[in-house]
Amino acid sequence: MGIKGVIFDLDGVLCSTDECHYLAWKELADSLGIPFDETINRRLRGVSRMESLDIILQAAGRAFSSREKQALAARKNERYRRLLMKLTPADLPGGVRATLDELRRRGLRLAVGSSSKNTPLILQRLGLEDWFDAVADGNDITRSKPDPEVFLLAAERLRLPPGECMVVEDADAGIEAALAGGFIPAGIGPAKGNAKAAYHLEQFGQLIELCGHAPVE
């Protein structure tokens, strides 16, 4: 049967906006007098904005209403989006564009499956908005990873069954989501050592070899 499609997580796989996230969350936490560092920041990988906020607020010492949380999340996202506006195609990691181009040349269908509601903006800033056959993001789903909803939607938009799609993820929650949805998980970055991943990528360009010569339909 073989791999006919590849679904990419966005942040940490196609690009890195970790510093933007970190700065935006830290600014919010500092304003509330809540400790925030890289250790806490790592816990936010692969989870939604509201879930990330809940993790940060665990150290607040008081409860926050739903309305307060929505306002705080909006503040963080406003700051994050201002930082994203500084992104340019030059911020795309080396080898990503060439690898995507080669995968497309070989007939593979490509998609983005990300929990981020800022996916369209990030793709636009990086010059990747027209490179994918499908995009599924946080604007389309109600359940974040490790639920497989975003990957299942991406596969549906690619018109491929999960078993014919590789999912490339840098977060353990994403690997769990891929497995739960019946996809072929490939770990990269922090998730490359995940024992549950079918493939462990040292670098993005390895996808060309792993995906082989996909059949063109």
54-90 pLDDT, tens digit per residue, is 999 999 989 999 999 999 999 999 999 999 999 999 9
Query: Residue 111: which H helix or E strand, with range?
Result: strand 109-113
- 113: its two tokens: 């499956």
Residue 200 CB neighbour total at 10 angstroms: 14
| Residues with catalytic roles | 9, 11
Q: How far apart are CA 136 and CA 159, in angstroms?
A: 13
At 14 the pLDDT is: 94
119 pLDDT band, cuts 50/70/90, is very high
pTM, to two decimals:
0.86
Contact (CB, 8 A) for 120 and 135 = yes
pLDDT mean across residues, the chain: 93
CA distances from 37 to 21, 34, 138 (A): 12, 10, 25
Q: How far apart are CA 139 and CA 133, in angstroms?
A: 17
Q: Which fold has domain 5-15+91-211?
A: Rossmann fold (3.40.50)
pLDDT > 90? residue 172:
yes
Residue 133 CB neighbour total at 10 angstroms: 16
At 211 the pLDDT is: 85
pLDDT > 50? residue 214:
no
Domain ranges of the chain: 5-15+91-211, 18-84
At 106 the pLDDT is: 94
Mean pLDDT of 143-150: 93
pLDDT > 70? residue 1:
no
Backbone angles phi, psi at 26, to 5 degrees: -65, -40
Is the domain 18-84 a CATH 1.10.150.240 member? yes
pLDDT > 80? residue 216:
no
Beta-bridge partner residues of 201: 188
Q: How far apart are CA 211 and CA 208, in angstroms?
A: 6
